[in-house]
Structure 1
């Protein structure tokens, strides 16, 4: 059976037509899926009984509950979700006093091979469908509490741009969740053609994984630098008027003795000069067999202070969920079996 969950309104119109349902039924189905959040086609009671029967010949709702949860000492929760072909993904729910954020995945594993990321060490197993992305939000036990969603989990969102854009359409359309796009932040290491599509076809915030202003250093940390140099990414960003409400931010994981020097402050100031943005400094969370070490708290504070003095708005992101491997760069399902039995979690 093919899932209805993750279909856009236009796709549902085609399904309605093929199922001999009236055109307006597509919007009704969307509302059942994303607003009333049903789990069975028979719950779509304003569709005719015969119409529901025709739908059920080919389709199911396709919502999937999380398989497991781990709870951090700081309240962060890491959820394990089944994906297609017996694979798994992880999402991290981060509660705070006035903000409840879900960090969603867009791929099973990742192709990008960044030196500091557990997901990159996993390698790439597959793209998530739009439904599998949206499912992480709507099947979350805390879904009603959510204030924000960030595409900063497993995978590179711009490497799955079609399904990411479809999921954003579902989140923000009046027939979907009707969220403001300002509740959503999508991260990328800098895949330039897809990033252009994202900027032009959505209104969500954009976060760029930067980590150093210097090409050779960034290439060693992030192989994508060989294909899409950071200067190219910045030049592309300068072409667009993001308005006053849409935010560009740069993620900067701090490594001891690697990217935490006065030269890096000068390089960042030159690279980002005149661009309305902010920098988020992130603690490095050690991963197995990595030569990298995290910068000290005092060094991070000094670095932030210096950048702020240069006119670059800079904050230090609070680390959450490290004890359950839910913090930045730690999500991975590499050791999980490919069947739904005896999950190593």
Structure 2
């Protein structure tokens, strides 16, 4: 059995660990500083720990950094990183530079059990949750990690189906003893797992993004089976109980499908559903996936849809497509790797 990793442990977990090992309590903060603020790869590099402390830790633990297995670089600067997990599966993270911002899109699960019709990750099926360390590793192990300004949990998996590990990773990313990122620089996406969403809203100050895609129950049920369990009206009603009038933001993700969700009746129903809610709607071009009956709306339809929503008072933006030449849509690269592995 490999030694357990230190990466992914919170300060309270590190404190428990050092006390069990007979080390001073303050050693926990020293370890956290090295893990989450410094560019080290071994316990021996933690030079302000005593030699005895480093020896004790090295005998039982490892840093836990896992370098990407592959990287694909786009002509637009986007990079797609492929990682091997502890269970020898594959997950992806996307690095997206843009002027003075550098965003990292991270995964929270291997595969996904939610079965959304438009998602390649869902076609893989559910293969496991990522640990907090495996989530943080997607940031900590890439060469650009210290220049990342924003993080979005919009990669493989449903973050709120892995809530404990996602919350632990957010604690590491936002705490002073960790990476000290502002929670206003982090967005967590969900398809609407309502109980876990409530826990997140009450225990984190990070932004929330909800995958909406159509305001009509029957259409959403066909696209997203979660609609059978947590209808989007109930999800939106719950969100209304929280304050998004300040810097915290809620957004609704809306992939545009030709002839499916891009009509005037959708504009009207979206306006009703989101009325008087301080939010934004992000329109997203569809990256085609194999064997899907869905096709993306034309740019003309997307622009008209944006303008119609804006005219109704909904703050609406169109997300720029990035990395199409390197299969940057979630699940494509890892699926390819899985297929290669089976050959």
Q: TM-score, normalised by structure 2?
A: 0.96
1:75-98 residue CA offsets vs partner (Å, 9 max, x unmatched): 211011111121111111111112
Question: How far off its partner does 1:147 sit?
Answer: 1.2
Given candidates 110, 113, 117, the residue that maps to 1:111 is 113
CA distance in 2, matches of 1:293, 1:204: 32
Q: Tell me whether 1:38 sits opposite 2:52 in the alignment.
A: no
The structural deviation recorded for 1:213 is: 0.4
Structure 1 equivalent of residue 10 of structure 2: 8
Q: Deviations over 1:135-166 (max 9, x none)?
A: 11111111122111110001110011101111
For structure 1, which segment, 1-10 or 59-68, has the greater mean C-alpha deviation from structure 2 after superposition?
A: 59-68
- Per the alignment, residue 290 of structure 2 pairs with 288
Cα distance in 2 between the residues matched to 1:331 and 1:9: 35
| Matching of residue 85 in structure 1 with residue 87 in structure 2 | yes
Residue 157 of structure 2 corresponds to residue 158 of structure 1: no
Equivalent runs, 1:159-198 vs 2, <5 Å: 159-198=161-200
The aligned counterpart of 2:334 is: 333
Which residue in the other structure is 1:237 paired with?
Answer: 239
In the alignment, the residues of structure 1 paired with residue 179 and residue 232 of structure 2 have an alpha-carbon distance, to the nearest angstrom, of: 34
Residue 337 of structure 1, CA deviation: 4.8
Distance 1:175 1:62 in 2: 18
For the aligned residues, what is the CA RMSD? Answer: 1.5
Q: Is the 8 A contact 2:92 2:331 kept in 1?
A: no
* Secondary structure of 2:128's aligned partner: strand
C-alpha displacement of 1:56:
2.0
Structure 2 residue matching 1:336: 3-state secondary structure: helix
Residue 220 of structure 1 is matched in structure 2 by: 222
Instruction: Give yes or no for contact 1:109–1:333 (8 Å, CA) kept in 2.
Output: no
User: What is the CA–CA distance in structure 1 between the aligned matches of 2:245 and 2:267, rounded to whole Å?
Assistant: 27
Equivalence for 2:316: 314
Distance 2:257 2:98 in 1: 27
Runs (4+) off by over 2 Å: 329-332, 334-338
CA distance in 2, matches of 1:276, 1:332: 36
SS of 1:164's partner is helix
- Separation in 2, partners of 1:55, 1:141: 26
What is the CA distance between 1:343 and its match in structure 2? 5.9
What is the deviation of 1:39?
1.2
Unmatched runs of 5 consecutive residues or more in structure 1: none
Deviation at 1:111, TM superposition (A): 0.7
TM-score normalised per structure 1:
0.96
SS of 2:16's equivalent in the other structure is: helix
Taking the aligned partners of 2:334 and 2:247, their CA distance within structure 1 comes to 36
Instruction: Give, in whole Å, the separation in 2 of the partners of 1:26 and 1:158.
Output: 29
Distance 1:330 1:61, change over 3 A: closer
**Partner of 1:124 in structure 2?**
126
Q: Distance in 2 between matches of 1:331 and 1:45?
A: 41
Tell me, in whole angstroms, the C-alpha distance in 2 between the residues paired with 1:33 and 1:258.
47
Task: Using the TM superposition, name which of 52-61 and 272-281 deviates more.
Answer: 52-61
Task: Output one character per residue of 1:300-341: Cα deviation in whole Å (capped at 9) or x when no partner.
Answer: 0000000000000001111011121103x4545234359xxx
> Which position in structure 2 is the counterpart of 1:24?
26
Q: Report if the CA contact (8 A) 1:81-1:90 is conserved.
A: yes
Which of 135, 150, 153 is residue 148 of structure 1 equivalent to? 150
